[in-house]
Amino acid sequence: VGGSGGLSDGTLNLRPDIGGNLYEFLDEKEAWELVKYVDGIYVKHGAPKKLYQATPEEEEELSRKAASAGIEFVQIPQRHIGSDHTKEVIKSIQEHLIKKGVKFLLETRVEDILESGVKLSTGEKIDTKYIIVAPGRSGASWLVEQAKKLGLKISHGPIDIGVRVEVPAIIMSPVCKVNRDPKFHIISETYDDFVRTFCVNHMGFVVKEVYKGYIGVNGHSLRDRISENTNFALLVNVELTEPVENSTAYGESIAKTATTLGGGKPIIQRLGDLRRGRRSTWRRIERSNVKPTLKSVTPGDIAMVMPHRIVTDIIEGLEKLDKVIPGVASDSTLLYAPEMKFYAMRVEVGRSMETSIDNLFIAGDGAGVSRGIIIASATGVLAARGILEKEGKK
């Protein structure tokens, strides 16, 4: 039980506007109360009670330093479950639900969503008054197909394209002491594009991800095992307009090119080599003071994979960030490509996550209403509360 959130490093970002935006559905007070409620459930089922949160003085100092470089530092209270403990938390939640009478049908595919229930791939129909559809990111394409059949209104989301950056942990330690997963928002000089850091794994590991038809990279950190490096994603937000609005197809085309050039492995390159317009070699990487935590990679040239605009944004983003985190833009900094964050096509819903079809609700990343553990969970709670309200219960 559990989707990609269970395979992540289990960082809980405790803000209504990170990993989604609850302010679209709730006022500020309601949004914060919902985040607190969801956080309490995770703590009850084994998430650490330790909260990573900067003091007002630390937050002010880092915010001032970032602002002087033209960067916004986003302060977020966080908990860190760890990739090695997320399964335990999910297992506890599952056992709690089973005691409440919930039945799990694992390895069972829903072929069609019906207005009065669902049809399974086996041909069996399950009749129900209410349906909550939360297929996760891997089920986003399936949900789009279902939405089209049902006549639901959907829209394309943007896409984040970039790299996984790896540096010595000592470089990131000062900012990671202030915030475990520090988030910086940057505007690039040349193209005025939005660039952001994401998913900082202090003393963590870079990992390969395998998708249907292409590969990518990600990062995770463990509570019980550490490395000498820190990694984070540096992502450029791309939003397409007419006539080509399918951002998913655009991102996949870049990822497939990277997979081809990398021989089925992610591409690794030193930042210094990217700046100088040359590919990296194992010899150059081995002489570097940053030793890669992911070995199954192909040294190459990211500029052969990414559009020039994206490469320029990445270089400029790191050079700006270097003013806040000295050393992050050194020649020996390692870049892994590609890292993609796809936003599912969004299904239009009301504040209780109900679609235009009565009693059909959606929730989570797969429906495009969230992109993180806490907000995904919160949308599920909103859907459940919406059903209770229709039943006349509070």
Model confidence pLDDT, tens digit, residues 137-153: 878 889 999 999 999 99
59 belongs to a structural domain = no
189 belongs to a structural domain = yes
Count other C-beta atoms under 10 Å from residue 201's C-beta: 32
Are residues 135 and 238 both part of a single domain? no
Query: What's the pLDDT score for residue 239?
Result: 85
pLDDT in tens, 154-168: 988 788 999 999 999
Are residues 240 and 308 both part of a single domain? yes
Backbone dihedral region for residue 333 (phi beyond 0: left; psi -120 to 50: alpha; all else: beta): beta
Query: What's the pLDDT score for residue 5?
Result: 62
Nearest one of 194, 386, 222 to 309, comparing CA atoms? 194
**At which of 307, 322, 342 does a domain end?**
342
pLDDT in tens, 343-364: 778 899 999 999 999 999 999 9
Are residues 229 and 145 both part of a single domain? no
**Residue matched to tokens 């010899």:** 283
Q: Tell whether the model's pLDDT for residue 256 goes beyond 70.
A: yes
**158: phi then psi, degrees, rounded to nearest 5:** -75, -175
pTM of the model: 0.83
58 belongs to a structural domain = no
CATH of the domain at 363: 3.50.50.60
Are residues 190 and 297 both part of a single domain? yes
**At which of 342, 357, 377 does a domain end?**
342
Region 21-28: mean pLDDT is: 96
**Banded pLDDT at 7 (limits 50, 70, 90):** low
Query: What's the pLDDT score for residue 343?
Result: 77
73 belongs to a structural domain = no
Are residues 337 and 351 both part of a single domain? no
Of the chain, the percentage scoring pLDDT greater than 90 comes to 78
* Parent domain of 228: 158-342
298 belongs to a structural domain = yes
* Domain count of the fold of the chain: 2
Region 129-141: mean pLDDT is: 90
Q: Tell whether the model's pLDDT for residue 113 goes beyond 70.
A: yes
Q: Tell whether the model's pLDDT for residue 68 goes beyond 80.
A: yes
**At which of 326, 342, 358 does a domain end?**
342
Nearest one of 64, 25, 121, 63 to 361, comparing CA atoms? 25
Residue 243: cis peptide before it, omega within 30 degrees of 0: yes
